[in-house]
Amino acid sequence: MKLSIIVVGIKHSGNLGALARLCSNYGVSKLIAVAPECDIDDEAYQRATWGRPYLDNLIIVNNLDETKSHVETLIGLSARIGGYNNLSRSSISVKDIPTNVSTYSGTIGIVLGREDYGLSNEELDTCDFLCHIPMPGENQVLNISHAASIALWELSREQIKGKSVNKEDQPLHEIISQEKRRVIFEYLDEILPHSWIKEENFDGIRKVFRNVLGRSFVTEREGNAIVGTFRGISKTVLEGHPHWDKCNKAGTNES
């Protein structure tokens, strides 16, 4: 498993430098900035220390959706937890991320928001699922580099304990690709209009599927099975029962 740090709309170069230093600490694969609002200046390099190569190779993109070409799974980190009906902010604690995540191949991107107001609902919807860091005090908001450090530690703890992800008894599992996720939702969009579900609930259902697919770290092989199932359901809904199914029913009746 590889980890990437993705920061959206960062405003202070010192924070960017601190993130670069963390990338070096944890052996992060890539540091990606989405529409940054600061320059890579002397303060950034001073804060980065031995993480300076991450600033030299900083990947800059225009929006969060563009980061999907660099990672397989986007984990949004947000201090604001949604209520029962706010599916966009349905979140789990970082400590509840599956401990076997280190046995997956592919890249996981930890998405951090702006220093002042974090991630928008639209950006949260782009993430595959959301996490938060439980805090005992009244102030639930951490500096982005502090939040990133805690999230990186949780995702790296099995490796920190010395468990190698390359042992024969721990085979690597390929995380479902963004393309495979897209196909699943295309079939879901084909099926929903033919269901008994009200159209006003479609968006909520998509968000639930997004959360489930993300949190469970579905493998590419499992993704193939889901695509095949949805494809079969879609074809049945749009074209009716296949001929072989009618034959099976006829054979059953004759017996």
Interval 65-79: pLDDT, tens: 999 999 988 999 987
Interval 206-245: pLDDT, tens: 888 888 888 777 888 899 999 999 999 998 888 877 665 5
Q: Is the pTM of this model over 0.85?
A: no
Same domain, 233 and 133: no
The region of weakest confidence among 36-40, 82-86, 181-185, 188-192 is 82-86
Same domain, 112 and 228: no
Residue 168, in any domain of the structure? no
Interval 106-125: pLDDT, tens: 889 999 999 988 999 889 88
Q: Is the per-residue pLDDT at 153 higher than 80?
A: yes
Residue 166, in any domain of the structure? no
Q: For the chain, how many structural domains are there in total?
A: 2
Q: Is the per-residue pLDDT at 24 higher than 80?
A: yes
- Mean pLDDT, residues 31-40: 97
Please identify, among 105, 127, 160, the residue that sits at the C-terminal boundary of a domain. 160
Q: Which residue has the higher pLDDT, 104 or 247?
A: 104
Domain that holds residue 223: 176-247
Same domain, 38 and 100: yes
Same domain, 202 and 128: no
Please identify, among 132, 160, 188, the residue that sits at the C-terminal boundary of a domain. 160
Same domain, 26 and 115: yes
3-class SS letters over the chain: CEEEEEEECCCCHHHHHHHHHHHHHHCCCEEEEECCCCCCCHHHHHHHHHHHHHHHCCEEECCHHHHHHCCCEEEEECCCCCCCCCHHHCEEEHHHCCHHHHHEECEEEEEECECCCECCHHHHHHCCEEEECCCCCCCCCCCHHHHHHHHHHHHHHHHHCCCCCCCCCCCCEEECCHHHHHHHHHHHHHHHHHCCCCHHHHHHHHHHHHHHHHHCCCEHHHHHHHHHHHHHHHHHHHHCCCHHHHHHHHHHHHC
Same domain, 97 and 200: no
Question: Of 8-17, 73-82, 200-209, where does the model show the most confidence?
Answer: 8-17
Same domain, 28 and 125: yes
Residue 227 confidence (pLDDT): 93
